[in-house]
Structure 1
Amino acid sequence: MTRHDLSVKSLRSSLATRRAARISRRSLERQLASYTTESDRLELDAILSRHTGEETNELRSIINRQAMDRLIRA
């Protein structure tokens, strides 16, 4: 295998990994968006509080962005 072939293979692998991560994040965003009521969000917050900030950082980021989006639309 030539160096060029390895570069192309590496690039394809990287792109596939990034695409899978985007798909996974969109799915997570849809799932979190289903928590629409105040009681839903309080339940979710209680669940997240059982874990470290490092473990919940991405989830809290999505939840906060969605909350801001709801405020802007209201």
Structure 2
Amino acid sequence: MISNLRTQLAERRMVRQRSRKLADELASYSTPAERQELDAILSRHTEAEIAELESLLNSQAIRR
């Protein structure tokens, strides 16, 4: 039971780290030209594939 809890906590930590890293990478697209490039890249994928990215981008836009 404790081993399972530790595993779950470790997995959650990894997900948060991955999300923070992804958010940092997306934040590097800051100029209008870079954002257009990112939009072009994202347009090649389905909504389901980019849902997490869209959520992070929307959060970043709100903070600006």
Is the pair's TM-score, using the shorter chain for normalization, greater than 0.5? yes
Runs (5+) with no aligned partner, structure 2: none
Structure 2 SS opposite 1:36:
coil
Aligned length: 64
TM-score (norm 2): 0.96
Q: Which has the larger radius of gyration?
A: 1
TM-score (norm 1): 0.84
Runs (5+) with no aligned partner, structure 1: 1-6
- Map 1:48-67; keep pairs closer than 5 Å: 48-67=42-61
**Moved runs in structure 1, 4+ residues, more than 6 A?**
none
Considering Cα pairs closer than 8 Å and 6+ residues apart, tell me whether 1 or 2 has the greater RCO. Answer: 2
CA RMSD across the alignment: 0.6
- Map 1:1-74; keep pairs closer than 5 Å: 7-70=1-64
